[in-house]
Structure 1
Amino acid sequence: MKRGFWFVLAGIVVVIALAVALIATLGGGSGPRGYVAGHYHRASSLDIRGDSDNKAYTSPKPVPVVAREITSRWRPQSQQTDASGVYLRYSDDAVIIQPRAAGSVIHVMDVDRAYRHYHSHVGHAWGGFGMRGETFRGGGPGTGK
């Protein structure tokens, strides 16, 4: 009786592990980083130099279409759009979609690095991320100093 129990338990564990692996594979990995990696073409020549966490991808589709594809699957915490592109902020990552001659280039990077790199586009909306000199301290003259 004990031996049969362990075979049944092992079978259940194997089925659960296979289900998790299948979901991860079909879902394009974990989070927006995995989704982008699974759905767009890797373009390492477009990676931002000096940022080993940055990965660039391309799509033949225009910026608004790519942004809709990503946001329909992974809802961002913040989304900014201007003439230079669409900036999506997630808890750990940022996805930046910008126009390219034949479609779009998509950069996926750490959200803090993205904030520093694209501050002029997102600084007013994304906040200071705890960086010195960029957090709100105010309340009036002499307050919070």
Structure 2
Amino acid sequence: MKPRYWIVIAAVAVVIALIVGLVMIFAGGGGARGYVTHNYTRAAHLDIAGDDDNEAYTSPKPPKTVAAEITAKWRPQAQSSDASGIYLRYSDDAVIIQPHQSGSVIHLMDADRAYHRYHSHVGHVWGWTSTRGESFRGGGPGVGK
């Protein structure tokens, strides 16, 4: 019977790949949130009061440049901008980029909270987001209301 070392080697490689993948996921190394945390300066004093999910970061670059850097790496599901800032929505997170002093402040927050907080800026583009997938309330008399 021939030795089948290649099966053992393949199994070890799969286990190593899974471990590396899980470490990357749980270390926050992926997605727009991970990109912001690794590429911009944490500014806890600019966190939005009363929102413990919010994290603020700063950049010396203007909002349009910061948004271009982030969207070049992580394409948002929806994007909106006006004079107050640039609003990027991802599946679970939102990245809000606003002018601050001579650069930008970047707020990371839950997409649902961002929608409620910045509805007047993003409601026409983002639509309703929900972690439970509830995008439609209608049906019939008394259904979903």
For residues 18-69 of structure 1, give each alpha carbon's deviation from its aligned partner in whole angstroms, at most 9, with x where no partner exists.
86489x49xx711111110010000011011111111100000011000000
Q: Which residue of 2 aligns with 1:37?
A: 37
Q: Which residue of 2 aligns with 1:112?
A: 112
Matched-pair identity in %: 56
Q: Which residue of 1 aligns with 2:78?
A: 78
- Give me the whole-angstrom Cα distance separating, in 1, the residues matched to 2:15 and 2:129: 42
Report how many aligned residue pairs link the two structures: 133
Q: Which residue of 1 aligns with 2:69?
A: 69
For residues 71-93 of structure 1, give each alpha carbon's deviation from its aligned partner in whole angstroms, at most 9, with x where no partner exists.
00000111101001100011111
Unaligned 5+ segments in structure 2 are none
Q: Which residue of 1 aligns with 2:53?
A: 53
> Root-mean-square deviation (CA), in Å?
3.3
Letter in 1 for 2:101: A
Unaligned 5+ segments in structure 1 are none
Offset, 1:102: 2.4
- Give me the whole-angstrom Cα distance separating, in 2, the residues matched to 1:115 and 1:16: 36
Q: Which residue of 2 aligns with 1:95?
A: 95
TM-score (norm 1): 0.75
Structure 1 residue ranges, 4+ long, deviating more than 2 angstroms after superposition: 4-22, 134-137
- Give me the whole-angstrom Cα distance separating, in 1, the residues matched to 2:109 and 2:64: 19
